[in-house]
Amino acid sequence: MASIHPTAVIDPQAEIGANVSIGPYCVVESGVVIAEGCNLASHVVVKQGTILGRNNAVSEGTVLGGRPQHLRAGDRVGRLRIGDSNMIREHVTIHCGLGRQDWTEVGSHNLIMVNAHIAHDCHIGNNLVLTNNVMIAGHVTIGDRAYVSGAVGIHQFCRIGQFAMVGGQAHLNRDVPPFVTVDGLSSHVVGLNTVGLRRNGFRDPEFQQLKAAYRIIYRSGLAWREVIETLQHTFYTGPAAAFYEFLSQSRRGIMQERRGPGRGPIRLFNDPEVNEAAASVRYAV
């Protein structure tokens, strides 16, 4: 049975699941679906067309399914779908799709911190961390287990790959490849997300493969078409195969690498055969 505070305003056409808790002064509009086990703190607004999965915790002042901030937003806008077991902190705003058939989608098991904004038609994966004041424009895609630090601004139609880490206050106007770290100060790529990958169980053989692929992307001097072809034919298995899948679909290009004076190439451990293969762009998986 749901627990609904007497000051909450719940439209009769909303669908409220079992064991849902709705706090003081919440507003739940017509057509909303809130699945079992969700907890809405005070002053949460859930707009028409929002589907909220199971066991989500939504903190004070959050607005889910708000109208897109777009001049082309008509009388009929799209919808918002949120998965399961997300923690959505205070004053987060997540807007619905722009057109009546469009969706904004947020996956499951994400931590979305205070005052983050996810605009219309975004597709957010699973097990993400979006920290305070992240600003995500429309049509942005973020892969699983990415980490986006505070006050990062992401241009519309950009993509962030799986396991990527973006430093605080970075401004992204191109795609961020999977597995890499973007420095917040320069907004440039500075290598692999070593800490995040270690925490997620990646081991030395996988690091060797990822570093070899990274060198092809950023250090080989190949033309973009040659980079894509080399990744396709060289890394067709293992985690580095995700580089080809991601980069071959890029329409905006990728964030560039920061290379300081005297900085050497990525060291591929102490295996001469691995180093030689990567240097010649013929690394065999």
Q: What's the confidence (pLDDT) of residue 259?
A: 78
Residue 130: its H or E element: strand 129-130
Q: What's the confidence (pLDDT) of residue 280?
A: 45
- pLDDT by residue for the chain (285 residues), tens digit each? 899 999 999 999 999 999 999 999 999 999 999 999 999 999 999 999 999 999 999 999 999 999 999 999 999 999 999 999 999 999 999 999 999 999 999 999 999 999 999 999 999 999 999 999 999 999 999 999 999 999 999 999 999 999 999 999 999 999 999 999 999 999 999 999 999 999 999 999 999 999 999 999 999 999 999 999 999 999 999 999 999 999 999 999 999 999 744 344 444 444 444 444 444 443 322
* Strand pairing report for 153-154 and 135-136: parallel
Whole-angstrom distance, CA of residue 279 vs CA of residue 198: 24
Q: How far apart are the first and last CA of the chain?
A: 54
The catalytic site residues sit at: 120-121, 138
Whole-angstrom distance, CA of residue 146 vs CA of residue 179: 8
Domain chopping of the chain, boundaries: 3-198, 203-279
DSSP 42-93: TT-EE-TTEEE-TT-EE-TT-EEEEPP--TT--SS--EEEE-SS-EE-TT-E
Q: What's the confidence (pLDDT) of residue 1?
A: 80
CATH superfamily of 3-198: Hexapeptide repeat proteins (2.160.10.10)
Please, how many CA atoms are within 13 Å of residue 81, restricted to the half-sphere of its CB? 8
φ/ψ of residue 146, rounded to 5: -80, 160
